[in-house]
Structure 1
Amino acid sequence: MARPSDTIDYKGASGGWGSLRGIVETLARERPSAGSLNTLRRQNKKGGFMCTSCAWGKPKHPHAFEFCENGAKATLWELTTHRCTPEFFASHSVTELRGWSDHDLEQQGRLTHPLRYDAASDRYVPCSWQEAFAAIGGELKTLEPKSAVFYASGRASLETSYLYALFARLHGHNNLPDSSNMCHETTSVALNALIGCPVGTCVLEDFEQCDAMFFFGQNTGTNSPRFLHPLQQAVERGCKVVTFNPIREKGLISFINPQRPGQMLSGQGTEISCQYLQLRAGGDIAAIMGLCKFVLAEDERQGGTVIDHAFIAQHCTGFDAFRARADATSWERIEQESGLSRADMEAAGQVYLAAERVIGVYGMGLTQHVHGFENIAMLVNLLLMRGHIGRPGAGICPVRGHSNVQGQRTVGIAEKPELVPLDKLADQFGFDPPREPGMNTVAVCEGLLDGQVQAFIGLGGNFLRAIPDQGRIEPAWERMRLTVQIATKLNRSHLFNGRTSYLLPCLGRSEEDLQASGPQTVTVEDSFSHIHGSLGHRPPASEHLLSEMAIVAGIAKETLPSNPRLRWDDWTADYALVRDLIAETYPDEFHDMNGRMFQPGGFYRGNPARERVWKTESGRAQFTAPDMLAATDVEDADGRYRLMTIRSNDQFNTTIYGYSDRLRGIEGKRDVVLINPDDMRRAGLSAGQRVSLVGDADDGHARRIDGLEVVPFNLPDGSIAGYYPELNPLISLQHHDRRSKTPAGKAVPVRIEAA
């Protein structure tokens, strides 16, 4: 492996003055509205609004500032004083705007008026809300319902999500993909099959009691910085953190807490990981197998006293087959596939054995692989061996991205009808819900290519930019009859339009949502299955904006036949009525929702696996025996690399706040490919050279991105990295997790061609 001195790097810790500078730079760039600092002060606190960035939990006893660098950026981005008006669109054709960067598009500011795409002039033109609702409803009524897709980004509230899912089913389909399909769908499928619950088992209090945390493919410093507070506190009381990640991410190395004056003045941060193991991209199955093999050997050496055999006998199935597979797997193969030494894995295993309570933390470094299911299954195996699921201070913790992506699934946004209480909905609303499975993200893309999909409604997000194989999907997009985008700012997905197309601006979560009954509260669910009320206080960016709820209701009224049980106007006037509906549909989890939504720390909707109630096919927690050690399905070959698509600390999902990836030492650019200097020498490349990345999926479709700058970086041999979403066109639509169809963006087979 390359020496760190050969590579670029950020010398500081995560947090600290760098984090404050990042916030100040965003303040200067966005020039947010008056009162934005007061909004930040109340962010993620009772009576304030819940951050639109990540889904990390909101504590019962918040810090003075309960927001992180990225959360502040998201809020300031929403409260910007920049405005994207009809005059802007009169000056710029849609074709011209396609040449703009993601950053420059969103930097135009908040959308202010409902807009219709006029193909004759190739421009968006203003229209009335009623014109838009009538035209959209008219198109939907004439289309075969199963040709329509209702996508949700993960930001919309529980109330809007519930009605949006109801609208889709009343229209006649379950085509309800959401952003989870692109990130944590692997989690939903794997955990549901293995422990009987599609979400993690931990709550915030577990981090106060655990003795060790094992991190796999999760970048805390960039993707969930508020996690750094409980992580720092855990380490300071003696908890051990072991990290497995191809990239040495600063948030899991060292953290300077901006709310600790002593650390800020001294520049001395808290060291986070006691071991940091840079495995190969796609090497997690092998690495965890190494940990498990060591634990099994120690159990045998110590007379069966290491593994929790009583727990396994009472609660688990499949252990013997798993143990046989581990015994039959050689250390030589494990080292080869993981890229780690046996000694390092055994040292990590010692930390595991010394801990009474262990939490397994992971992100998209596990989920976005062809064998992502097996990645998660191996982590479940590791935790089950010593009973680390279903007791305080232990469990499995997937770290979700978008603020309400987990909650949307909870209240019905799901393409899988078996996940939704359809009989209950039938009784409530007097209709026969469709029972046929709907389309997930991959199926939507396939439907666009073969012409099956004729209408797309996007409730937030940037679908066309976030998906794989954009070079194939973008031309197909324009063959649709109807496209509708509900958004706060302009993005690339809005620049490809069906024959009838509308861009509808909505309120942001930080803004006051004033309806007929008064200011409205919305609710969201965090990664720990806790529900929180959110109340916006800032004046709307434009008097012409509607809430997401009002937009969904307006389209539904113009689409669906009359039904006295569908009280769209009443629901829009008073969101408490929708919360009553949610509580009626899901009484065990949401009873007394209106009374509990401002409970400090949120109210907990429960998790059966946390209580060791396994709602699996066997009624037990499931050990598995993987028949592969690499999470990718493409063999290694000379000149073939495993590309990881990554995010900078100056972006959230497809939103690019700026061009500073401070925590990796990269400034002012995103058109880069990060590569080990040893791999550079073997390929005859030099720092700063411009190269092309060429897809190597061998599926008959050419994929290529030119003009990328070579940047020497500390990575394992054969693993390279570059930015999402710019490199998404290199991902084949067929390169996805085999069980969940989550696009596999963390070990994409590519080749490098010198310019």
Structure 2
Amino acid sequence: MSDQPPRDSHVYDGPVGGWGSAKGIAAVARTARPGPGAFDTLRRQNKPGGMMCSSCAWAKPPNPHIVEFCENGAKATLWDLTSARCGPDFFASHSVSELSGWSEYDLELAGRLTHPLRYDAETDRYVAVDWDTAFAAIGQELQALDPKMVAFYASGKAGLEASFLYALYARAYGHVNLPDSSNMCHETTSVALKTVIGTPVGTCVFEDFDHCDMILHVGQNPGTNSPRMLHPLQQAANRGCCIVAINPLREKGLLEFANPQSPWQMTLGAPTEIADRYLQVRAGGDIAALTGIAKQVLALDRTQGGVLDHAFLDAHAHGLQDWMDWVDACDWAELEQVSGLTRDAMEAIGAIYARAKAVIGVYGMGLTQHVHGSDAVGALVNLLLLRGNIGRKGAGISPVRGHSNVQGQRTVGITEKPELVPNDALRDLFGIAPPMDEGWNTTAFVQALLDGKAQGFVGLGGNLARAVPDTDRVAAAWGRMPLTVHVATRLNRTHLMPGRSSWILPCLVRAEVDMQDGVNQQVTVEDSFSHIHGSIGKRSPASPHLMSETAIVARLAAATLPASAKMPWDHWARDYARIRALIEVVYPDDFHDFEARMNQPGGFYRGNPARNRDWQTDSGKAQFTRPAALDATGLGVGPGLYRLITLRSNDQFNTTVYGLSDRLRGIEGDRMLIMMSPDDMAAEGLVAERRIALTGAADDGIGRRVAGLRVIPYDLPRGCIAGYFPELNPLSPLSRCDLASDTPATKGIPVRLDLT
């Protein structure tokens, strides 16, 4: 393990998991006050015949633990099953203008939405309406708009059934403006991996973590974002696997873990140390760090021989010599300066990698959310390819996804790229003419909104106006749209920016009974390892007026589109097996025998050609790539310029805030803060808890400022600061995105301190 953090930094003395995790769950349970059935839901969560967690997309193992949920997953379930209700009486008492001043946390505390709602501009309130009125009015308004100026957004939570219908609905309506939450985080993965190995998703399966002897863990925080991942990391560490963490912040989940299911670790035993080496790279320094490690691997092969897998490279790689020439030309001094690491540190990891027999490259948004994020993903793939670590047991590339079905939604057609869906099958089956022009991704939609072109927004979940960059500018423009429609479970800030016509359609959560024609319906989701799982809810709905996401999508489509015998929306929505049969026909390779396999323990694997070393790239081989720059942020180094990293707290999932504790970083209280190196604080003359402002430093002529931020000393590389998403999103310029995928560059936002 590396040295302890600097004195005066905020730290959490305990491990991830253990009693701290139990207390964190208990705190949210006290706030949410769920019914007694919530704990039965948790008992069955992520197991066959139970509900698949609505939080992250980590794997559901075939042999689950007695407790197969984590702190974050438990919080999400308890939050969903709250006893608090946000019904007509609540909206009669609170205007939209008043609610706009509430925090995200306070809005969520109002509880579950209970009735369909229409915004009434005269009273500045949402008022209850019946479902038939809502669908008829929304359908009529959508018919009056230009389909190509309307966006259908998906948050990544709805099941495959609702997602398939949603994508079909958009294409039948006349557009492929299908932005989704993947555009905000892992679109970089989809573009980069497709280019270099021919598949848009990771190549690992859950079992690979039982057979690796090295894990490179880059830009991802499992303690907060995917705690169930700590089980395989702990098991890997216990059997001697070398885990190398590369991350600007020293995150507790990569340091030590006390397994809540281990009586020994919950009482007398010591926690498991996770990372053998921890490299605190500068924000955006990953390309340089990975290149430095690779440079050492190449040097060892030349001096010792037998390091590179030449048989693999000869048979399966393209562009190797060109890339090696570029690496040879890279200067160590520049690699050190950009990465923030020493040459010795990078060479040491290179030496470990050269000896390892099976290596997994794990990464998260710390790698992807940069101007050159796709190049950063390519840099990790370059390193893995050198020793044949893609396409064999115990090795591969493994992005860690966020929302529980964000990968699955893409699999069944939620994409703005026409070439990624089987359009001929859609034409033949449904008699539609799918648009063949590329639609809006999230960045393109927001730009259209700012330009005054967007006419309508339908949101299948999410809080998009708060999740995107430039949120102050977005908030000013959002209400100018003629129509906004939100499918939601709770109130959030985007709902408080009503368009000229605005609707909230309340839906069931995944844990609740979804009764159609007297049968409780199952839905399906896809995890990060491309496995498909059935999920069924058992809890009574929060209100008799709720509908499922699948039923809402079907009713919206039926109200908007001309009647067609080839698209019987109501018939499909009465039995979700009928929708799965359609998915199987449209995607036969991935979903053959769908109904028979969906409840298989551990899910069924839909396959991945790159795992079989079938490289569906332009060259027909795995592609070595040269990055456009060593610094993934695209920023230089100048006086007073800082790189802002936005991140979640421990009591948070995306824009949902469960509480005001960031326990694993030793931080409590309000979320208006920045974390800063004690050395940078001293250089700026700052003391802990002082309130300052940040101003944007992007060279685009747009003023950006967030004030009232308290300064927290924290162990960070010099020149890097960190703060919470979405509070600091106003500082993130929409124009700063990954050059290949348009993913917002929110892990390297250029800012300056305003101490006035």
Q: TM-score range by the shorter chain?
A: over 0.9
The answer to whether the Cα contact below 8 Å between 2:6 and 2:678 also exists between their aligned partners in 1 is: no
Give the CA deviation at 1:452. Answer: 1.5
Aligned counterparts of 1:371 and 1:2: Cα–Cα separation in 2? 31
Q: Corresponding residue for 2:516?
A: 515
Q: Corresponding residue for 1:409?
A: 410
For the pair 1:284 / 2:286, whether they are aligned, the reply is: yes
1:582 is aligned with what amino acid? I
Q: Corresponding residue for 1:13?
A: 15
How many equivalent pairs are there?
A: 754
For the pair 1:551 / 2:552, whether they are aligned, the reply is: yes
Q: Within 5 Å, which residues of 2 pair with 1:481-560?
A: 481-560=482-561
Aligned counterparts of 1:494 and 1:4: Cα–Cα separation in 2? 43
2:328 match: secondary structure: helix
1:219 is aligned with what amino acid? N
Q: Corresponding residue for 1:578?
A: 579
The answer to whether the Cα contact below 8 Å between 2:646 and 2:725 also exists between their aligned partners in 1 is: yes
Q: Within 5 Å, which residues of 2 pair with 1:107-186?
A: 107-186=109-188
For the pair 1:314 / 2:315, whether they are aligned, the reply is: yes
Give the CA deviation at 1:3. Answer: 5.3
2:58 to 56, 59, 63: 56
Q: Within 5 Å, which residues of 2 pair with 1:734-753?
A: 734-753=735-754
2:442 is aligned with what amino acid? T
Aligned counterparts of 1:470 and 1:725: Cα–Cα separation in 2? 9
For the pair 1:261 / 2:263, whether they are aligned, the reply is: yes
Q: Within 5 Å, which residues of 2 pair with 1:173-252?
A: 173-252=175-254
Aligned counterparts of 1:266 and 1:246: Cα–Cα separation in 2? 32
The answer to whether the Cα contact below 8 Å between 2:516 and 2:574 also exists between their aligned partners in 1 is: yes
Give the CA deviation at 1:517. Answer: 4.8
The answer to whether the Cα contact below 8 Å between 1:43 and 1:67 also exists between their aligned partners in 2 is: yes
Once the two structures are superposed, residues 366-405 of structure 1 have per-residue CA deviations (whole angstroms, 9 ceiling, x without a partner) of 0100000110000000000000000010000000000000
The answer to whether the Cα contact below 8 Å between 1:46 and 1:533 also exists between their aligned partners in 2 is: yes
Q: Corresponding residue for 1:569?
A: 570
The answer to whether the Cα contact below 8 Å between 2:372 and 2:628 also exists between their aligned partners in 1 is: no
Gaps of 5+ in 1: none
Once the two structures are superposed, residues 595-654 of structure 1 have per-residue CA deviations (whole angstroms, 9 ceiling, x without a partner) of 110001000000000000001111111001123110012221100100000111110000
The answer to whether the Cα contact below 8 Å between 2:59 and 2:528 also exists between their aligned partners in 1 is: yes
1:705 match: secondary structure: strand
1:397 match: secondary structure: strand
Q: Corresponding residue for 1:364?
A: 365
2:532 match: secondary structure: strand
2:562 is aligned with what amino acid? P
Give the CA deviation at 1:690. Answer: 0.5
1:188 match: secondary structure: helix
Give the CA deviation at 1:669. Answer: 1.9
Aligned counterparts of 2:263 and 2:612: Cα–Cα separation in 1? 41
1:180 is aligned with what amino acid? S
1:210 match: secondary structure: coil
Aligned counterparts of 2:670 and 2:606: Cα–Cα separation in 1? 43
Q: Corresponding residue for 2:619?
A: 618
Aligned counterparts of 1:141 and 1:437: Cα–Cα separation in 2? 21
The answer to whether the Cα contact below 8 Å between 1:2 and 1:714 also exists between their aligned partners in 2 is: no
Aligned counterparts of 1:489 and 1:736: Cα–Cα separation in 2? 30
Once the two structures are superposed, residues 289-308 of structure 1 have per-residue CA deviations (whole angstroms, 9 ceiling, x without a partner) of 100000000011013x1101
Gaps of 5+ in 2: none
Q: Corresponding residue for 2:666?
A: 665
Q: Corresponding residue for 1:38?
A: 40
**Cα RMSD, aligned residues only:** 0.9
Give the CA deviation at 1:34. Answer: 2.3
Aligned counterparts of 1:652 and 1:436: Cα–Cα separation in 2? 34
The answer to whether the Cα contact below 8 Å between 1:2 and 1:676 also exists between their aligned partners in 2 is: no
2:665 is aligned with what amino acid? R
CA shift in 2, pair 1:3/1:566, >3 Å: closer
2:59 is aligned with what amino acid? G
Q: Corresponding residue for 1:352?
A: 353
1:730 is aligned with what amino acid? L
The answer to whether the Cα contact below 8 Å between 1:2 and 1:715 also exists between their aligned partners in 2 is: no
1:682 match: secondary structure: helix
Give the CA deviation at 1:4. Answer: 2.0
The answer to whether the Cα contact below 8 Å between 1:199 and 1:398 also exists between their aligned partners in 2 is: yes
For the pair 1:383 / 2:387, whether they are aligned, the reply is: no
The answer to whether the Cα contact below 8 Å between 2:584 and 2:591 also exists between their aligned partners in 1 is: yes
The answer to whether the Cα contact below 8 Å between 1:318 and 1:623 also exists between their aligned partners in 2 is: yes
CA shift in 2, pair 1:575/1:27, >3 Å: same
Aligned counterparts of 1:531 and 1:655: Cα–Cα separation in 2? 25
Aligned counterparts of 2:511 and 2:222: Cα–Cα separation in 1? 24
Aligned counterparts of 1:143 and 1:335: Cα–Cα separation in 2? 54
Give the CA deviation at 1:351. Answer: 1.6
The answer to whether the Cα contact below 8 Å between 1:517 and 1:574 also exists between their aligned partners in 2 is: no
Give the CA deviation at 1:142. Answer: 1.0
Give the CA deviation at 1:451. Answer: 1.7
Aligned counterparts of 1:3 and 1:589: Cα–Cα separation in 2? 47
Aligned counterparts of 2:502 and 2:491: Cα–Cα separation in 1? 14
Aligned counterparts of 2:280 and 2:137: Cα–Cα separation in 1? 54
1:200 is aligned with what amino acid? G
Q: Corresponding residue for 2:275?
A: 273
2:697 is aligned with what amino acid? D
1:674 match: secondary structure: strand
Aligned counterparts of 2:113 and 2:423: Cα–Cα separation in 1? 36
Q: Corresponding residue for 2:474?
A: 473
Once the two structures are superposed, residues 497-543 of structure 1 have per-residue CA deviations (whole angstroms, 9 ceiling, x without a partner) of 11111001000000000001511000000000000000000000000
1:552 match: secondary structure: helix
The answer to whether the Cα contact below 8 Å between 1:2 and 1:677 also exists between their aligned partners in 2 is: no
Once the two structures are superposed, residues 6-27 of structure 1 have per-residue CA deviations (whole angstroms, 9 ceiling, x without a partner) of 2110011111100000011111
1:423 match: secondary structure: helix
1:214 is aligned with what amino acid? L
TM-score normalized with structure 1 length: 0.99
2:367 match: secondary structure: helix
Once the two structures are superposed, residues 36-91 of structure 1 have per-residue CA deviations (whole angstroms, 9 ceiling, x without a partner) of 10100000000000000000000000000000000000000000000001111111
Aligned counterparts of 2:265 and 2:482: Cα–Cα separation in 1? 58
1:4 match: secondary structure: coil
Identity of counterpart residues, as a percentage?
62
Q: Which contiguous aligned blocks of 4+ residues in structure 1 show a shift greater than 6 angstroms? A: none
1:453 is aligned with what amino acid? A
2:751 match: secondary structure: strand
Q: Corresponding residue for 1:693?
A: 694
Aligned counterparts of 2:312 and 2:414: Cα–Cα separation in 1? 35
Aligned counterparts of 2:466 and 2:577: Cα–Cα separation in 1? 35
Q: Corresponding residue for 1:443?
A: 444
Aligned counterparts of 2:29 and 2:482: Cα–Cα separation in 1? 40
